[in-house]
Amino acid sequence: METANLSHFQRLKKRRHLYQSRCQVLRSQLGFNKVESSRPIICRGCENYHGKFYGYSQGQRTQLICGFHPTGWAKNNQCPDWKAIEKHE
């Protein structure tokens, strides 16, 4: 009985994987795989960027941009605390 259930489960898993891969191909062909970044333009490439959301409900969730400017840099000029991401090799 267990081997029958196991083989049935494996067939379902393989069928689901095939379905998901076909959906992904279709999404990429239609251009839906391109997700826009939620990172503000000023914060791109900054080491201090945090960007995680905090809060329990959808209405109360807030995004913490960075430790220096929790709501993000509001002015149009370059952020004074901007620091390039260091690439470790």
The mean per-residue pLDDT over the stretch 47-64 comes to: 84
**Banded model confidence at residue 88, pLDDT cuts 50, 70, 90:** low
pLDDT tens digit sequence for 60-77 = 888 888 888 888 888 777
Integer Cα distance of 18 and 39 in angstroms: 33
C-alpha distance from residue 35 to each of 39, 49, 87 (Å): 12, 19, 24
Q: What value does the mean pLDDT take over residues 3-19? A: 90
**Does pTM top 0.75 for this prediction?**
no
Distance between CA atoms of 11 and 27, rounded to whole angstroms?
A: 24
Quick check: 58 pLDDT over 90? no
Tell me: pLDDT of 89 over 60.
no
